[in-house]
Amino acid sequence: MEKLTKISEKIKILKDARNILHEEYSKTEFHKKKEAHPHETIPPAPEDEGIYKLLTAIQQLDVHIKKLQDIQFKILKEKENE
C-alpha cells in the first residue's frame, strides 16, 4: 500500500506542475491567438520558441502522469484480485 501512496503523491506533484505550466501558457499571446482562431494554423514566430518548449513540457508531464496512473491502476487491480 505504501507503493500506491508514493505513486499517488508523484501523480499529484506532476499534476500541480502541469497546472502551473498551463497557467503560464494561458497568459501568452500565442494562447490568446489560438483561442480566438482555434481552427487556424498560427505560423510560428521566433518569439514563440519558449511557448513551444512550454507546450512540450506540458505534454511530457501528461505522458509521465499517464504512466504512473497505469501503474496505479495495475496495483489496484492486483489488490482487488487478492
Q: DSSP of 29-79, one letter per residue?
A: HHHHHHHHSTTSPPPP-GGGHHHHHHHHHHHHHHHHHHHHHHHHHHHHHHH
Assign 61 a pLDDT band (cuts: 50, 70, 90). Answer: very high
Question: What is the mean predicted confidence (pLDDT) over 15-38?
Answer: 90
pLDDT at 22: 95
pLDDT at 49: 86
Q: Do 54 and 24 form a contact (C-beta atoms < 8 A)?
A: yes
The pLDDT mean for the chain works out to 90
pTM, two decimals, is 0.81
For residue 64, give every residue at least 6 positions away whose Cβ sits within 8 Å of its Cβ, in sequence order, or none: 14
Assign 69 a pLDDT band (cuts: 50, 70, 90). Answer: very high
